[in-house]
Amino acid sequence: MTRTKISQISLIALASFTLPLVANAEHHEKSKEACEARKAAYQERIAPYDTNGDGELSDAEKLALKKARFDEADLDKNGGLTLDEMVQLRESKKSERKAMKLEKHFSKMDKDGDGVASFEEFSEASKKMSKEKKREQKKSKSYKKQMREHVLKQYDTDGDGKLSDEEKLALKRSKFETADANSDGKLSQEEIAQFKENERAKMREMMQAKRFEKVDENADGMVSFDEFSNISWEKKKDKRFQKCS
């Protein structure tokens, strides 16, 4: 074997060894930057309650945060939260998260910071959006599971954990009659649209009531501050914001 061929083989072997190391190093650097960004976002959120400025919330500071949220939700200031007030608090926080998420997505998409997204920027961001979509689909599966349990509870008359043909027919008949607002034996496009909206609203109300029952430990129809403070507000992902390796 000639010296030239040996040199070429050596270069190929060296490249096959070093390229993955370089790629791993770049990935680690990006992960570190993302972690630092998450940490900064977390500390910004907790800043009003982080009285000693250590970048973390002590038990006392967490309690102060929960008290502020409780007072915000207690619209009639009677010292307890009703189901409606809990729902309003949840929807308010959900809207805030959506707005923050949208702003975050756009800032990542708008690479040159000119306030608009070009096709190239949008195309690149679409790849990341597909990952977000998969996460939303997981939530959808949980929703479908709860809906299935609700349907079985109503129509699984023999209690075998599934719907027979007769039970499925009873379910369909019940839905048809509910949707047939004018009872003429047929459904218009408007009736179908209204039925779907009503079903979604009914399911949301059922899930909200279920959550409220879990928080309302003494089942008196009101959530006290003690019951409210037992809710775990700190998400697992928030714990990752605090430290970056």
Q: What is the mean pLDDT of residues 111-119?
A: 78
Compute CA distances 212 → 49, 104, 126, 220, whole Å. Answer: 26, 31, 37, 11
Q: What is the mean pLDDT of residues 210-215?
A: 89
Give the pLDDT confidence score for residue 18 in this predicted structure: 55
pLDDT averaged over every residue in the chain: 78
**What band does 120 get if pLDDT is binned at 50, 70 and 90?**
confident
Give the pLDDT confidence score for residue 236 in this predicted structure: 47
Q: How far apart are CA 11 and CA 144, in angstroms?
A: 56
| Contact call for residues 219 and 61 (beta carbons, < 8 A) | no
Q: What is the mean pLDDT of residues 32-36?
A: 71
**What band does 182 get if pLDDT is binned at 50, 70 and 90?**
very high
Q: Is a pLDDT exceeding 80 seen at residue 137?
A: no
Residue, of 112 and 26, whose pLDDT is higher: 112
Compute CA distances 196 → 163, 191, 204, whole Å. Answer: 21, 9, 12
> Model pTM greater than 0.85?
no
| Contact call for residues 179 and 195 (beta carbons, < 8 A) | yes
**What band does 3 get if pLDDT is binned at 50, 70 and 90?**
low
Q: How far apart are CA 61 and CA 48, in angstroms?
A: 10
Give the pLDDT confidence score for residue 242 in this predicted structure: 47
Percent of the chain's residues with pLDDT above 90: 18
Give the pLDDT confidence score for residue 113 in this predicted structure: 79
| Contact call for residues 35 and 237 (beta carbons, < 8 A) | no
